[in-house]
Amino acid sequence: MQVYMDNAATSKQKPEEVFKAIESFFKKINCNPGRGGYGLSLDAGRWVMETRELIGKFFNLKQASQVVFTPNITVALNIALKGLLQRGDHVLISGVEHNAVVRPLTALKKYRGIEVSVIPTSPQGHIESDDARKLIKPNTKMIVCTHASNVMGTLLPIEELGRIAAEHELYFIVDAAQTAGVLPLDFEKLHASVLTFTGHKHLLGPMGIGGFCVKEDVARHMLPLYEGGTGSISDKEEQPDFLPDKFESGTLNTLGIVGLGGAVKYLLQKDLSEVRNRELELTQKLLTGLKQFPNVTVYGPQDEKLQTGTIALNVEGVDNAELCFVLDEQFGIMTRPGLHCAPLAHRTMGTFPEGVLRLSLGHYTTEEEIDYVLESMEKILAVI
């Protein structure tokens, strides 16, 4: 039996709609959108537009042009952070941010003299929004927060942080890498300036495609990270200042966009509250089973409603990389050990530098697989 428990890294299984869309586009069209004066290039542009519209619908945007495609969320976050922050600005982040946020900010500290404050975050990943309020000072410009920890699955209070950002006229950047596709995200209600997403995790698209949704007035103040050909206003040497072209230079990952379109079409037909309830049920089953083993420590929130399908654990006296190896080699269970590109989160959790073993459920995880993981863990724990 093979059990995929690494959905926080990427979702391995995809809906048929993804394959069908990619195959159809690749075989029948495969021309460069916006780069030719013939029907097939125009058709390619229509396919890209369709995905933009589907994503606009998925995140409840006013205009599809507010969706900008990037290769992944890391690039999306880099554009938002580097495009909005100026010398001397102060930024608030949670204590469980991924390196996709921490590393660009570390570079900006060095090169642009920005200041970063970490909102006090408990080892379980909780923050009190009042603590964020207390850190705001005259040069504070932005709050950046992940919707859920990619290590232990804790959901963060992005709605409250969004309200605080709005009250204080701060930019609010949301990293929805771990939740888009499972939890409803309404761009209009979130008070987000920029909502970043990656296509290949719970959104079920292929790897190499992501993007962001941006408020039009925020986009006006945001500088692009790179400039180049957009297929539009080619008589000008200056970058277009309209969306999405301002941020989409160079040939797009059209196959990725088309595949993501297939995935979002599939997700739009689903009731996300059912998806979430199923995830909660299976996650609770796994957590309850794991917590019964005496030498297993499970990290993360106490309140089950604040838990995504991502679980972090350690077994006393066992290296989590070795445990990962045994689970894979002997039981066919795929997990991820170590630090998960999130050293800040591990410092907050008290698990730096050894890290944890991460098991992450996804759309296609079954109850049978959860039973199998628990039986396998029992067998491993019996011999160590």
Cβ closest to ligand PLP, residue 298 vs residue 341 = 341
- Cα separation, 360 vs 5, in Å, equals 5
Written as one letter, the residue type at 54 is L
Nearest Cα to Cα of residue 214 among 102, 64, 114: 64
* φ and ψ at residue 153, rounded to 5 degrees: 80, 5
HSE, CB side, 13 Å, CA atoms: give it for residue 147.
23
Cβ closest to ligand PLP, residue 89 vs residue 97 = 97
Kindly state the smallest distance separating residue 185's Cβ from ligand PLP, in Å.
14
Cβ closest to ligand PLP, residue 212 vs residue 331 = 212
Kindly state the smallest distance separating residue 156's Cβ from ligand PLP, in Å.
10
Kindly state the smallest distance separating residue 356's Cβ from ligand PLP, in Å.
14
Written as one letter, the residue type at 380 is I
Question: Which residues sit opposite 69 in a β-bridge?
Answer: 211
233: left (phi over 0), alpha (psi -120 to 50) or beta: left
Asked if 91 contacts 135 with a C-beta cutoff of 8 angstroms, the reply is no
Tokens of 328: 């894979």
Asked if 375 contacts 368 with a C-beta cutoff of 8 angstroms, the reply is no
Kindly state the smallest distance separating residue 102's Cβ from ligand PLP, in Å.
10
Binding site for ligand PLP (CB under 6 A): 72-74, 98, 100, 146, 150, 175, 177-178, 198, 210, 341
Kindly state the smallest distance separating residue 198's Cβ from ligand PLP, in Å.
4
Kindly state the smallest distance separating residue 290's Cβ from ligand PLP, in Å.
21
Cβ closest to ligand PLP, residue 12 vs residue 379 = 12
Cβ closest to ligand PLP, residue 142 vs residue 177 = 177
Kindly state the smallest distance separating residue 161's Cβ from ligand PLP, in Å.
15
137: left (phi over 0), alpha (psi -120 to 50) or beta: beta
Kindly state the smallest distance separating residue 200's Cβ from ligand PLP, in Å.
6
Cβ closest to ligand PLP, residue 179 vs residue 376 = 179
Strands (E), the chain: 3-4, 67-70, 90-93, 115-118, 140-146, 171-175, 194-198, 210-214, 296-299, 310-315, 333-334, 357-360
Cβ closest to ligand PLP, residue 341 vs residue 381 = 341
Cβ closest to ligand PLP, residue 11 vs residue 365 = 11
Contacts of 131 (CB under 8 A, 6+ apart): 119, 120
